[in-house]
Structure formats: structure tokens, C-alpha cells
């Protein structure tokens, strides 16, 4: 066995205690770690070449992710969701046990790379968005709920709900927090394929401007609005939120779902200042974002390189600190702890069911990349430090009712309309 193989065995011996992981090294040596335990998967993998162990030691998540997508790690028993779940479940964030950090050179390189990407100037923002969202609407149509095409955390109120029902519940939950009035003008920042804008216009008698930096999303959002019969009340535009704010545009309500993760720390205050300037004095703003429990951190190298260039998951502390600078009042904060884990597992199952179609659209390497990404994301919400925050903001403390009872009442009305 090589020195790297011996070191990886020592590391895995510490990390895998419940459930079992059988590793066959490129040298032919097989080792089994952990003990079969109810509720924990049993996984078998094979390292195709001797560099796999070394790459994992240099940066565990990037090393495993790239080796798997390149076919250098082959899963012989179980699947990638089980492999990632096994590692995460044995090292829960709450238990304060962490995977070995990347080597010092990798950490330095990663921090420099993340810092450069997180600047997110308007030009780089568009290219970063295109990297993930302009890979083709066909892929997302295979994975997401066809009713609303929501690529964000659903809101699960019942164990028997379908993905579509949970996504509609999310739309209603957010709309209720906006306390919409007939005739309101609404800005949807990062509108995706138009699901939120179409829902608001069709259920709440408001007019909506949805903005995106993805040309693929823009084209499909417009088609979906036409098909839903709300094109007279919904407009979509390819524009950066900073440019829209510079025009002096104002709105009664602002909603932003799954967009703040792409803003980048250096632009946090700019983002909130733009939103505050575009929000009417008695308006309401609801921001739904993936968040980090605990203190601020940094984006792992695999996600930054392959999935969301320039992306950053914010801690609640740094999010609210940035909004405080522009005197936005955080009138309500809700933490969704496990909703996204269930959502992403639904997407994963759909992708596995559609493997042949996805590989025909892209290729087998992309399919492995995508399923590794989904497995990592789902388990980060189940066992890691990820959650979702819904933060409701107002400029005037009198803008909304004193208690939250109006939210549940509006949800029921929106879902039954």
C-alpha cells in the first residue's frame, strides 16, 4: 500500500463508526470501516487509481467529487447519496466533529479563489449565473415540479404531500408574508422560470416584474406566463438588480427567493441598499435564502468550482448586519431546518429515474457530477450546517400587523383561490 492509502485508511477509521464503508484501493487491498448500524447505509467503493487517496487527502470534498465524476471512484454497493449520507451522518455539525480540512496550500488557494469570485460585479454575476442556469431548461424540467418549476426549498406541511404541493405551499407561505393588496406592484429578484411571479399575479391580483440574469430562464418564464394567461400582469426582464435600482424604480413589495446566495459578501450592503431604495416607504420585502447555522464560513472548493461560481452561503449574523446598515427592519425571521433536505432528495430521485435522459442531454460525467452535487446538498441540510432563512423586512415599523396571525390566514386563502 502507498503512504496515501495508509493515511486515508487511518482517516476513514476515525470518520466512519456507524454503518460500514468497504474500500478497495487501486493496490488491490480492501478495508472495511465502521459497524453495520440500523439507519446508517452500508457502502462499497473502489478507487480506480493510486492518485484517488492522495486527492482526497489534499481536499476531501473536491477530491471525492472530482474522482467520482471522472469515474475514478466506482460505487460497487449502494449509491452516491448513500456514500455522502454515511460520511455526513457520522460527522454531524451538531456534534462538532469535522472532516479533515484541506491541506494548507489548498486552503490558501481556495480562499483567494473564493475572494476573487465573490466580488460579483455585474459582468461576472451574469457569467456565474449562466454557468449554472443556462446549461439548458430541459435538464431542470426533468428534475423540478412541472407545475411551478421551483428550484428552491419547498415548504413541507404534511408527510403525504407531493413535491408540487410542497412547492405551492412555499409560494403561498412567502406570498402571505408579503401581505399583498390588490393592485400592488411586486418585484421578484432572481425570478427563475417565473413560478413565483405567475403565482402572485394569478392568486393575488398584483402586477409583477421578474428579473433574472439567465437568458434560458427568461425565455421560458415568458412562455409560461403566456400559457398561464397572466402575461398582461407579469413582465420579465434580463437586468441586474443594481441597474434596476439605478433607474429609480420603486415597488410596493419585493420578493427574492434563492438569489442572495449569488450576491457575494462584498456586495451584501449594495444588495440591501438597492432593495431599500426600491421598496416603497410602507412596503414589505421577503428574502428566502440558503443560510449557514453558526458563524460565517466559506464555500467549499467543489461547489465553487463546479456548481455555483461566486456563490456564498451567508450566516444569519452577517446577513442581518448588512441589512441593518441601510435601516431595513427585520420584522420576522423563520428558520427552515429540514425542508430543503427533503426537497433535494425528491430532485435526486427524479434525476436517478431520468438517468438515461440526462446522459443523453449532457453525458455520463455530468450525470455523476450532478448527482454528487445533489447528494452533498441534501445531506448538508440533514447533518451539516445548512438551513434556509426567510427574513421579512420593512422600512416602517407600522407597515405590517403586530402579530403573525395574518400569515396563516392569507396562506389558506391563497391555496384555496
Answer whether 195's CB lies under 8 Å from 166's CB.
no
Specify the residue for cell string 393588496: 181
C-alpha–C-alpha distance, residues 116 and 199, integer Å: 37
Answer whether 26's CB lies under 8 Å from 65's CB.
no
Q: Is residue 332 part of a domain?
A: yes
Q: What's the pTM? A: 0.91
> For the chain, how many structural domains are there in total?
2
Q: Is residue 367 part of a domain?
A: yes
Say what the pLDDT of residue 417 is.
81
- Is 98's pLDDT higher than 60? no
Q: How many CA atoms lie within 13 A of 183 on its CB side?
A: 0
Say what the pLDDT of residue 126 is.
65
Residues contacting 3, CB < 8 A, separation 6+: none
Q: Are residues 92 and 153 in the same domain?
A: no
Q: Are residues 229 and 132 in the same domain?
A: yes
Say what the pLDDT of residue 125 is.
66
Q: Is residue 115 part of a domain?
A: no
Q: Are residues 60 and 173 in the same domain?
A: no
Q: What does the block give as the cell for 87? A: 460520511
Residue, of 220 and 113, whose pLDDT is higher: 220
Strands 30-35 and 19-24: antiparallel
**Where a domain ends, among 37, 72, 101?**
101
**Where a domain ends, among 69, 101, 133?**
101
CA torsion through residues 208, 213, 217, 223, sign: positive
Q: Is residue 43 part of a domain?
A: yes
Q: Are residues 50 and 174 in the same domain?
A: no
- Is 99's pLDDT higher than 70? no
Strands 42-47 and 73-77: antiparallel
Q: Is residue 68 part of a domain?
A: yes
Specify the residue for cell string 419547498: 154
Q: State which H helix or E strand residue 322 sits in.
A: helix 316-324
- Is 97's pLDDT higher than 90? no
C-alpha–C-alpha distance, residues 68 and 367, integer Å: 11
List the single range of 108-122, 134-148, 179-193 with lowest mean pLDDT.
108-122
User: Angle 336-338-339 (CA atoms, 0-180°, nearest 5)?
Assistant: 70
Residues contacting 401, CB < 8 A, separation 6+: 179
pLDDT tens by residue, 52-65: 999 999 999 999 99
Q: Are residues 30 and 164 in the same domain?
A: no
Q: What is the CATH number of the domain that holds 210?
A: 3.40.50.150
**Domain range spanning residue 347?**
121-416
Q: Are residues 52 and 133 in the same domain?
A: no
pLDDT tens by residue, 226-247: 999 999 999 999 999 999 999 9
Strands 73-77 and 386-394: unpaired
- Is 320's pLDDT higher than 70? yes
Phi, psi of 247 (to 5 degrees): -75, -15
Residues contacting 412, CB < 8 A, separation 6+: none
pLDDT tens by residue, 131-185: 666 678 999 999 999 999 999 999 999 989 999 999 999 999 999 999 999 999 9
Q: What does the block give as the cell for 232? A: 398582461
Say what the pLDDT of residue 75 is.
98
Phi, psi of 20 (to 5 degrees): -135, 150
Residues contacting 100, CB < 8 A, separation 6+: 11, 57, 60
Say what the pLDDT of residue 304 is.
92
Mean per-residue pLDDT of the chain: 93
C-alpha–C-alpha distance, residues 20 and 41, integer Å: 7
Q: Are residues 309 and 343 in the same domain?
A: yes
CA-CA-CA-CA dihedral for 71, 76, 82, 88, to nearest 10: -70
Q: Are residues 229 and 372 in the same domain?
A: yes
pLDDT tens by residue, 81-94: 999 999 999 999 99
Q: What does the block give as the cell for 155? A: 415548504
Tell me what percent of the residues of the chain surpass a pLDDT of 70.
Answer: 91
Say what the pLDDT of residue 115 is.
54
What is the C-alpha end-to-end distance of the chain, expressed in Å?
A: 66
Q: Is residue 298 part of a domain?
A: yes
The DSSP letter of residue 27 is: T
Q: Are residues 257 and 312 in the same domain?
A: yes
Q: Are residues 35 and 134 in the same domain?
A: no
* Mean pLDDT in residue range 19-30: 97
Q: What does the block give as the cell for 208? A: 409583477
C-alpha–C-alpha distance, residues 417 and 405, integer Å: 19
Q: Which residues partner with 20 through β-bridges? A: 34, 42
Say what the pLDDT of residue 134 is.
61
Say what the pLDDT of residue 159 is.
86
Q: Is residue 329 part of a domain?
A: yes
Phi, psi of 44 (to 5 degrees): -125, 130
Say what the pLDDT of residue 165 is.
97
* Mean pLDDT in residue range 341-359: 98
Residue, of 417 and 156, whose pLDDT is higher: 156
Say what the pLDDT of residue 106 is.
53
Say what the pLDDT of residue 1 is.
81
- Is 22's pLDDT higher than 80? yes
- Rounded to the nearest 10 degrees, what angle do helices 163-178 and 195-204 cross at? 60
CA distances from 101 to 15, 56, 58, 89, 98 (A): 13, 10, 8, 18, 8
Amino acid at each position: 500500500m502507498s503512504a496515501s492509502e495508509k493515511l486515508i485508511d487511518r482517516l476513514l477509521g476515525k470518520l466512519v463508526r456507524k454503518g460500514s464503508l468497504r474500500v478497495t484501493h487501486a493496490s488491490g487491498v480492501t478495508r472495511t470501516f465502521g459497524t453495520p448500524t440500523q439507519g446508517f447505509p452500508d457502502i462499497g467503493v473502489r478507487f480506480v487509481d493510486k492518485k484517488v487517496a492522495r486527492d482526497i487527502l489534499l481536499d476531501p470534498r473536491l477530491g471525492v467529487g472530482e474522482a467520482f465524476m471522472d469515474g475514478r471512484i466506482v460505487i460497487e454497493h449502494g449509491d452516491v447519496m448513500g456514500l455522502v449520507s454515511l460520511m455526513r451522518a457520522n460527522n454531524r455539525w451538531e456534534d462538532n466533529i469535522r472532516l479533515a480540512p484541506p491541506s494548507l496550500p489548498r486552503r490558501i488557494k481556495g480562499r483567494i479563489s473564493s475572494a476573487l469570485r465573490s466580488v460579483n460585479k455585474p459582468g461576472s454575476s451574469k457569467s456565474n449565473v449562466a454557468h449554472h442556469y443556462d446549461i439548458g431548461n430541459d435538464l431542470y424540467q426533468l428534475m423540478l415540479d412541472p407545475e411551478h418549476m421551483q428550484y428552491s426549498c419547498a415548504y413541507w406541511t404534511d408527510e403525504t404531500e407531493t413535491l408540487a404541493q410542497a412547492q405551492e405551499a412555499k409560494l403561498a407561505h412567502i406570498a402571505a408574508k408579503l401581505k399583498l393588496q390588490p393592485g400592488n406592484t411586486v418585484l421578484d429578484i432572481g425570478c427563475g422560470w417565473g413560478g413565483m411571479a405567475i403565482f402572485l399575479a394569478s392568486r393575488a391580483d398584483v402586477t409583477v416584474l421578474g428579473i433574472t440574469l439567465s437568458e434560458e430562464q427568461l425565455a421560458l418564464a415568458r412562455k409560461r406566463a403566456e400559457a398561464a394567461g397572466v402575461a398582461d400582469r407579469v413582465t420579465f426582464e434580463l437586468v441586474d438588480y443594481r441597474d434596476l435600482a439605478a433607474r429609480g424604480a420603486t415597488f410596493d413589495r419585493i420578493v427574492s427567493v434563492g438569489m442572495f446566495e449569488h450576491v457575494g459578501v462584498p456586495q451584501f450592503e449594495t444588495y440591501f441598499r438597492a432593495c431599500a431604495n426600491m421598496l416603497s416607504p410602507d412596503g414589505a420585502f421577503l428574502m428566502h435564502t440558503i443560510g449557514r447555522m453558526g458563524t460565517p464560513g466559506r464555500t467549499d472548493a467543489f461547489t465553487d468550482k463546479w456548481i455555483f461560481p461566486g456563490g456564498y452561503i451567508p450566516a444569519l449574523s452577517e446577513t442581518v448586519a448588512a441589512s441593518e446598515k441601510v435601516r431595513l427592519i427585520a420584522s420576522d425571521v423563520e428558520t427552515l431546518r429540514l425542508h430543503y433536505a427533503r426537497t433535494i432528495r425528491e430532485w435526486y430521485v427524479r434525476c436517478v429515474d431520468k438517468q438515461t435522459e440526462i446522459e443523453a442531454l449532457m453525458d455520463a460525467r455530468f450525470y455523476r457530477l450532478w448527482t454528487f452535487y445533489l447528494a452533498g446538498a441534501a445531506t448538508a441540510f440533514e447533518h451539516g450546517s445548512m438551513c434556509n432563512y426567510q427574513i421579512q423586512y420593512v422600512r416602517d415599523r407600522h407597515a405590517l400587523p403586530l402579530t403573525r396571525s395574518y400569515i396563516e390566514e392569507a396562506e389558506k386563502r391563497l391555496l384555496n383561490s
